[in-house]
């Protein structure tokens, strides 16, 4: 009868644990980056919705971002949909206060605009292009 483990068995166990740790590390360490990316994509989606609503309704639609807040209002003053990005990325704040209004053609009234989000030392910008109103994350 044997007592203990052989050297080969110990090396195999250490190897398996190393592979498992290497596979889990990116998922565990990048939580903040994933959260701010998700929040930026939500803002982009809401900008697209506001733009399309303005074109569909034939009335201007706006999104209002307040500096230092985590929540904003979008899709025009009549519906006033609100989203709190702290639900997606705790600690996230809007760096600059900006109001983006789309006309009935889907163009931003004030030209190009950017919404700057910051969370845990990381920043993301949601850019709204002049003329086209297309939104993208930078």
Q: What is the per-residue pLDDT across 14-52, written as a single tens digit (0 to 9) for each? A: 999 999 888 877 666 656 788 899 999 999 999 999 999
What is the C-alpha to C-alpha distance for residues 81 and 91, in angstroms, rounded to an integer? 21
Residue 133 maps to a domain: yes
User: How much is the pLDDT for 67?
Assistant: 94
User: How much is the pLDDT for 5?
Assistant: 85
Residue 14 maps to a domain: no
Count CA atoms closer than 13 A to 96's CA, side-chain side.
12
Q: Residue 43 sits in which domain range?
A: 31-137
Residue 130 maps to a domain: yes
Higher pLDDT, 80 or 102: 102
Query: Per the structure block, which two tokens stand in for 99?
Result: 């109001």
Residue 70 maps to a domain: yes
Residue 18 maps to a domain: no
Query: Per the structure block, which two tokens stand in for 43?
Result: 């803002």
How many Cβ atoms from other residues are within 10 Å of residue 110's Cβ?
A: 12
Residue 39 maps to a domain: yes
- For the chain, give the mean pLDDT: 89
Question: If you average pLDDT over residues 121-127, what whole number do you get?
Answer: 94
Residue 6 maps to a domain: no
Number of domains the chain is built from: 1
Count CA atoms closer than 13 A to 13's CA, side-chain side.
6
Least confidently predicted of 49-58, 68-77, 92-101? 68-77
Considering the entire predicted model, what is its pTM? Answer: 0.76
Least confidently predicted of 32-36, 67-71, 123-127? 32-36
Beta partners for residue 93, in sequence order = 118
CATH of the domain at 68: 3.55.40.10
């Amino acid at each position: 009868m044997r007592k203990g483990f052989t050297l080969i068995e110990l090396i195999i166990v250490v190897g398996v644990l190393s592979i498992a740790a290497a596979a889990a590390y990116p998922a565990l360490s990048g939580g903040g980056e994933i959260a701010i990316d998700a929040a930026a994509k939500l803002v982009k989606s809401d900008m697209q919705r506001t733009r399309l609503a303005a074109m569909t309704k034939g009335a201007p639609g706006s999104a209002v971002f307040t500096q230092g807040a985590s929540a904003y209002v979008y899709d025009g003053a009549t519906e006033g949909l609100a989203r709190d990005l702290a639900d997606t990325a705790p600690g996230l704040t809007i760096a600059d206060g900006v109001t983006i209004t789309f006309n009935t053609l889907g163009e931003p009234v004030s030209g190009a605009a950017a919404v700057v989000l910051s969370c845990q030392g990381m920043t993301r910008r949601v850019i709204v292009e002049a003329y086209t109103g297309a939104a993208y994350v930078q």
